[in-house]
Amino acid sequence: MQKKIFWTLFAALGLLADLALPFWWAVAATIPAGVVSWWVAYRSDWF
């Protein structure tokens, strides 16, 4: 379940960054999106 939440959130944040930011900013925003997704899915104890 955590893996599914991680990948869903990561994809959603990545898509949002791609639509809202210029290309290189979106590429740079991938790392923080991955960190946020990891924290929500594995460390926050919400799921």
Res 47 pLDDT > 80: no
* 2-40 pLDDT, tens digit each: 899 999 999 999 999 999 999 999 999 999 999 999 999
pLDDT for res 33? 95
Q: Look up residue 39 and give its two tokens.
A: 């924290």
pTM summary value: 0.84
Concatenating the DSSP letter of every residue in 11-47 gives HHHHHHHHHHS-HHHHHHTHHHHHHHHHIIIIIS---
| Per-residue pLDDT, 3 | 93
Do 40 and 5 contact (CB within 8 A), yes or no? yes
Which of the four pLDDT bands, split at 50, 70 and 90, describes residue 45? confident
Give me the pLDDT at residue 46, please: 84
